[in-house]
A and B are shown apart, each in its own frame.
Chain A
Amino acid sequence: MSTTNPDIEHVAKSESFGGFTNPFEKKGKYYKLRRLPIYLLTVVMLAPYYWMVTSSFKGVKELQEVPPTIFPKKPILGNYYDSKFDPTTYQQDVVQGLFQRFPKVQFGLWRFFFNSVFVDVAITSLTLFIGSMAAFVVAKHKLKGKRGIYLVIIGSMMIPWQVGLIPNFLLVHNLGWLNTYWAYIIPALPKAFIVFFFVQYLSSIPDELIEAARIDGAKEFVIYFRIVLPLMKPAMIAMMILTAIGEWNNFLWPLIITNSESMANLPVAIALLKNSGAGNIGTQGPLMAIALLVSLPTIILYFLTQKHFVRGIALSGLK
């Protein structure tokens, strides 16, 4: 066989992506045509987002049109806030805007935004802090019994979290924490996966760095803050994004621990809004508006941190 085999050249040229050849590889004159299904699928992927955005700017009359309109004929902001709305009188084509809903909750929708942001920031920062400290001890300290402790932590990842759901609820209930931020935050702090991920990451860091500091007489806390934390930055960022997005979208636990409207987080607020309107077409516009407002922050965070995010997931899957 000659060395000018075109296949070899193709493989060599494509080294940037691992020299891969697969059934979809770029070959033959129908390459563009074979890509067509992918582009069609993209439409399916984006359609719900498109629908969410456009419907939130359609008036209640337009939302009832058969067939539905693809472009909003006359975009309006009424689904978010309608200054013409008056709770005492019924007016045609006027809906109670999203920010005018939940009249019994102080600050309305803003309260749910605050709940979600506050809980998310608290959980993410605390869980990373205690998780990374524990991982430092497990990965870099000689400690009697740490192997057993780590085994239990890893083993707990095999158990679906719903198994502990009812005792968790009973604990929160007996502590009198229902409808409080404690119930949101405290049970969410010990995340086995985060410790596991950090231990994996730390085991790739040479012990000498830490030993050297120890010989210089540095205290363990100082080593943690000055040496370990800076070294863990990439792993920290990856886990920070994953945790923040996961908590933002959390639904089942907040649903269980809140029965007063004002303590709901945003996903629960969506469910509250949906159940209050039960299929009523006047609620559909505000529903799309709140769906958009809840989705946007995580999508923006994802765009800003895309590289770290994808790397974090890929790492977690490969180890």
Chain B
Amino acid sequence: MEKPVTKKTGFRRWSDGGISSYLMLAPFLLLFLMWSVYPVIASLRLSFMRYNAICDPQQAPCGSVGLGNYTTLLFHDPRFIKALTNTSLYVVGAVILGMLASLSLALALQEDTKSNRILRVIFFLPTVTSGIAIVMVWGWVFRGDGVGLLNAIVAKFGVNPIEWLATPSFAIPILIFMSIWGGAGFGMILFLAGLNSIPAMYYEAAVIDGAGPRERFRYITLPLLRPVMVYVLITGIIGAFQIFEGVYLLFPTSVGSIGGLKDMALMLVPYLYDMGFNRFRMGYASAIAWILFFIIFVISYINIKATKSLEDLR
């Protein structure tokens, strides 16, 4: 006997859910295409143009400049180079110290005791607190006059009030400190989840083989934490490259732009904002955005490749 062949018609040919599959996917997909995919493509196109949001894109003074924005940024724009070096220094400091802080906190607070649970909550609080609200308090802590909190502390040691936010060499360390204070608890939670997923029997076996705490940490904990470490590292780098709020509110300049005295705290995203929304150089700002993307992409790629090859080695 032959099986009855049910011929699929209409939308059933492409999907077992019929048209409802498409109806359910459509709201997200259409919004995603309009507000996530199209802007990325448009921004690439803008990055080869001069554009100020009002002019006709085809006519002077707007129009295509080829690679002009990129060559100007990389070779003729000292402010951009300053923003790039500042951001790099900041990212290196914030990510390395931040990872060390997160891992130490996770190890120190891993045991599930009542006091540790309370401590974890305290260290995690900045993650849920409005960044702007906290920046306001930091602004007070680092005030230049005697009213400032940090100056009140150094005054105890006989030091005169210091203009913390107007001393170029302090700018990046202060921003790194703010980043660790605000981010260590988030990394801690990820590391805690990683630590708790390591099976206890590995440690038991190691103890039977005579491994001490140090060996167990070196040869069990660290290797098994590597996936979490890579995740924390990559998300940390991506997040650090996008620093904005602290620079915007703590380091204004007298001429109404961003970056502080001598651009000591100028970073990539604040510079992008300054170019795009203070000066309406939209094409130029898009080129900054693409350089930012390129840097983040290369670093993430190297990270993933490096961990892969490290794993292949063992």
| B-binding residues in A (CB < 8 A) | 1, 5, 7-8, 11-12, 14-27, 35, 38, 41-42, 44-49, 51-52, 55, 63-68, 130-131, 133-134, 136-138, 141-145, 149, 152-153, 156, 158-160, 162-171, 173, 186-187, 189-190, 192, 195, 214, 219-221, 224, 245, 248-249, 251-252, 256, 266-267, 270-271, 274, 281, 284, 287-288, 290-292, 294-295, 298-299, 301-303, 306, 309-310, 313-315, 317-318
**Interface stretch among B38-46, B58-66, B71-79, B81-89?**
B38-46
Contact B129 A220 (CB under 8 A): no
Interface pairs (10), CB distance under 8 Å = A20-B110, A24-B104, A49-B129, A165-B39, A165-B289, A266-B130, A270-B133, A271-B248, A271-B249, A291-B133
CA distance A47 to B128 in the complex (A): 16
Q: Which of B130, B200, B276, B289 contacts A249 (CB 8 A)?
A: B130
| Contact of A294 with B133 at beta-carbon distance under 8 Å, contacts A152-B37, A313-B186 already known | yes
CA distance A45 to B188 in the complex (A): 14
Contact A8 B204 (CB under 8 A): yes
Closest to B178 in A: A48
Contact A190 B31 (CB under 8 A): yes
Q: How large is the interface on B (under 10, 10 to 19, 20 to 34, 35 or more residues)?
A: 35 or more
| Contact of A221 with B20 at beta-carbon distance under 8 Å, contacts A166-B276, A271-B249 already known | yes
Contact B297 A164 (CB under 8 A): no
B272 proximal to A (CB < 8 A): yes
Chain B residues whose CB sits within 8 angstroms of the CB of A131 once the complex forms? 28
CA distance A16 to B196 in the complex (A): 9
B27 proximal to A (CB < 8 A): yes
Contact B149 A68 (CB under 8 A): yes
Instruction: Report whether over half of chain A's contact residues are helix, strand or loop; otherwise say mixed.
Output: helix
Q: Which of A68, A158, A266, A317 contacts B297 (CB 8 A)?
A: A158
Contact B228 A318 (CB under 8 A): yes
Contact B208 A8 (CB under 8 A): yes
**Can you name 8 extra interface pairs (CB under 8 A) apart from A11-B203, A20-B200, A160-B296?**
A11-B200, A17-B111, A24-B108, A136-B24, A160-B289, A163-B293, A190-B32, A294-B132
CA distance A64 to B286 in the complex (A): 44
CA distance A122 to B281 in the complex (A): 32
Chain A residues whose CB sits within 8 angstroms of the CB of B193 once the complex forms? 314-315, 317-318
Contact A11 B109 (CB under 8 A): no
**Interface stretch among B90-98, B167-175, B214-222, B305-313?**
B214-222
CA distance A45 to B16 in the complex (A): 54
CA distance A65 to B186 in the complex (A): 36
| Contact of A163 with B290 at beta-carbon distance under 8 Å, contacts A19-B204, A45-B123, A66-B147 already known | yes
Q: List the 3 shortest-distance A-B pairs measured between CB atoms, nearest first.
A: A19-B200, A164-B39, A314-B193
Chain B residues whose CB sits within 8 angstroms of the CB of A189 once the complex forms? 28, 31, 35
Shortest Cβ distance from residue A181 to the other chain B in the assembled complex, whole angstroms:
15
CA distance A144 to B22 in the complex (A): 11
Which interface residue of A5, A27, A141, A270 has the most chain B CB atoms within 10 A? A141
B261 proximal to A (CB < 8 A): no
Chain A residues whose CB sits within 8 angstroms of the CB of B282 once the complex forms? 166, 170
Q: Which of B125, B155, B196, B213 contacts A67 (CB 8 A)?
A: B155
Contact A160 B194 (CB under 8 A): no
Shortest Cβ distance from residue B246 to the other chain A in the assembled complex, whole angstroms:
11
| Contact of A317 with B119 at beta-carbon distance under 8 Å, contacts A64-B147, A220-B20, A284-B140 already known | no
List B131-157 residues whose CB lies under 8 Å from chain A.
131-134, 136-141, 145-147, 149, 152, 155
Closest to A145 in B: B14
Contact A292 B300 (CB under 8 A): no
Contact B35 A187 (CB under 8 A): yes
Q: Which of B46, B129, B228, B300 contacts A295 (CB 8 A)?
A: B129
CA distance A8 to B210 in the complex (A): 10
| Contact of A220 with B29 at beta-carbon distance under 8 Å, contacts A67-B152, A160-B238, A314-B193 already known | no
Contact B14 A144 (CB under 8 A): yes
Shortest Cβ distance from residue B146 to the other chain A in the assembled complex, whole angstroms:
4
Instruction: Report whether over half of chain B's contact residues are helix, strand or loop; otherwise say mixed.
Output: helix
Contact A252 B146 (CB under 8 A): no
Chain B residues whose CB sits within 8 angstroms of the CB of A153 once the complex forms? 32
Shortest Cβ distance from residue A275 to the other chain B in the assembled complex, whole angstroms:
8
B100 proximal to A (CB < 8 A): no
Chain B residues whose CB sits within 8 angstroms of the CB of A295 once the complex forms? 129-130, 133-134
Chain A residues whose CB sits within 8 angstroms of the CB of B248 once the complex forms? 271
Contact B213 A17 (CB under 8 A): no
CA distance A7 to B78 in the complex (A): 60
| Contact of A133 with B27 at beta-carbon distance under 8 Å, contacts A44-B181, A160-B296, A163-B43 already known | yes
Which interface residue of A22, A38, A295, A315 has the most chain B CB atoms within 10 A? A22
Contact A130 B131 (CB under 8 A): no
Contact A21 B35 (CB under 8 A): no
Chain B residues whose CB sits within 8 angstroms of the CB of A133 once the complex forms? 24-25, 27-28
CA distance A72 to B309 in the complex (A): 58
| Contact of A142 with B130 at beta-carbon distance under 8 Å, contacts A42-B122, A166-B286, A168-B39 already known | no
CA distance A187 to B122 in the complex (A): 33
Contact A18 B130 (CB under 8 A): no
Shortest Cβ distance from residue A308 to the other chain B in the assembled complex, whole angstroms:
13
CA distance A20 to B129 in the complex (A): 31
Contact A156 B110 (CB under 8 A): no
Chain A residues whose CB sits within 8 angstroms of the CB of B125 once the complex forms? 45, 49, 299, 302
